[in-house]
Structure 1
Amino acid sequence: MPTFDGFPVAALDFYDDLEVDNTKSFWDAHKKIYDEQVKAPMVALTDALGQEFGDAKVFRPYRDVRFAKDKTPYKTHQGAFVGAAPATGWYVEVSAAGVRIGGGTYHAAGPELAQIREGMADDKSGKVLERILRDLGRGGFEITGEQLKTAPRGYDKDHPRIDLLRHKTLLGMKKYGFEPFVHTPELLDRIRNDWRKLRPLVNWMAEQLS
């Protein structure tokens, strides 16, 4: 198994250039850089993390442009995801903006969203989630996700956890950006430690969806 030595500067430079020239001709001329400087390190990273968190899906670099107004063919980032439940798990990404990581639920609708909101509304499990998010916030994570502007149907706008109940998705995210360690093996340890901190949130969401 190849060892992970960090994401080379060339990986970030590749996405800088791709944002300027998102064409097949650019891609074909630079595919070797993508394969060796972006994809190979991401696979090595997720293989190392997989020993603790499970197998990762390393996303394809191609955009689905069938119904998109933006017809540029390539994603301007490389992401990977380890699932723990439907649309729930851990995430890592490298792009021109550097490296960022996160965890939680990135999509929920219908019965799944109703189950999550039931857990948020419940006095016991809702307070557990509040503590989890408070700890993550203190640990430098940004608590984010898509939210309704008003109270969801069936819940009073004065509910003590209405801010949580307005969430349609819920994530803890952290940006590493261009910190020097992203180019070194230290990045693996940083991500592993932060994913461990995200485990209570991932587990809470997965329990609601079980």
Structure 2
Amino acid sequence: MAFTGFPEAALDFYDDLEIDNSKVFWDEHKDTYRSAVAEPMGELTDELAGEFGAAKIFRPYRDVRFSKDKTPYKTHQGAFVAVGPATGYYVQIGAPGVRVGAGFYEASAERLAALRSAIDNAIHGAELEQLVRKYSRTGWEIGGDALKTAPRGWSPDHPRIELLRHKSLTITRDYGFDEVIHSAALVREVRKDWRVATPLIDWVCRHG
């Protein structure tokens, strides 16, 4: 089926789940999750797959084995299109609305070393720096895990030390409760933003 938007019931579901994150609540509302969240997310990502690739729609269950927080369910539904190791495009819906993102979400030691070497390079590093500056200027939030200090072997005075500190690097944009999330036009908006994010993905895939 074609994507027609996330219904209000999807936002209500996650509002309630944040209050009562229990198996009892889930079992009583799993049909709402299926019809208001999971199925529309599948339809949305299916319409984007021709250009960006097939998405992995994440399971709603949390891995609580090593966590102090034992609540069993995620309070958002995410989907990820991988184009490289832990690198690609992201979309999610939760109580705060809809969010899109892109970037690399983790890296092995070897890959991180390669990316930092590219950041150190005058040409490649300046290219990434310009991309990140442009995203920030146009309303994207720059995120990812970053060291508080300079990585081992790098000078704190490096001109791109802020980028070198990143262990992952992402950009995100919130649609929140904008009416577009309840309509078929959300496909167009996500497609547009993922296209804007593609130069970052390409840079990471070239150098990592």
Q: Same fold (TM over 0.5)?
A: yes
Shift >6 Å, 4+ stretches: none
Question: CA offsets per residue over residues 9-62 of structure 1, 9 Å max, x none?
Answer: 100100000111111111111010000000000000000111100010000001
Instruction: Give the length in aligned residue pairs.
Output: 208
Partner in structure 2 of residue 77 of structure 1: 76
Partner SS state of residue 80, structure 2: strand
Distance 2:119 2:47 in 1: 33
Percent identity reads 55
Q: Return the offset for 1:138.
A: 2.5
Partner SS state of residue 191, structure 2: helix
Distance 1:119 1:6 in 2: 40
Q: Return the offset for 1:81.
A: 0.2
Partner SS state of residue 102, structure 1: strand
Question: CA offsets per residue over residues 56-105 of structure 1, 9 Å max, x none?
Answer: 00000011111111111111000000001101000000000100010001
Q: Return the offset for 1:178.
A: 0.6
Partner in structure 1 of residue 29 of structure 2: 30
With structure 1 as the length reference, what TM-score do the two structures score?
0.97
Instruction: Letter of the 1:187 partner, please give it.
Output: L
Instruction: Letter of the 2:128 partner, please give it.
Output: L
Alignment partner of 1:91 is 2:87: no
Instruction: Letter of the 1:203 partner, please give it.
Output: D
Q: Return the offset for 1:206.
A: 1.2
Q: Return the offset for 1:139.
A: 2.2
Q: Return the offset for 1:143.
A: 1.1
- Greater alpha carbon shift after TM alignment, 190-199 vs 150-159: 150-159
Distance 1:153 1:80 in 2: 34
Instruction: Letter of the 1:134 partner, please give it.
Output: R
Partner in structure 2 of residue 161 of structure 1: 160
Partner SS state of residue 143, structure 1: strand
Partner SS state of residue 68, structure 1: coil
Partner in structure 2 of residue 124 of structure 1: 123
1:1-210 paired onto structure 2 within 5 Å = 2-209=1-208
Q: Return the offset for 1:164.
A: 0.7
Contact kept in structure 2, 1:109 and 1:168, CA below 8 Å: no
Q: CA RMSD in A?
A: 0.8
Q: Which runs of 5+ in 1 are unaligned?
A: none
Partner SS state of residue 48, structure 2: helix
Q: Return the offset for 1:196.
A: 0.2
Q: Return the offset for 1:146.
A: 1.2
Partner SS state of residue 153, structure 1: coil
Partner SS state of residue 136, structure 2: helix
Distance 2:161 2:107 in 1: 18
Partner SS state of residue 148, structure 1: coil
Question: CA offsets per residue over residues 168-193 of structure 1, 9 Å max, x none?
Answer: 11111101111111111111111100
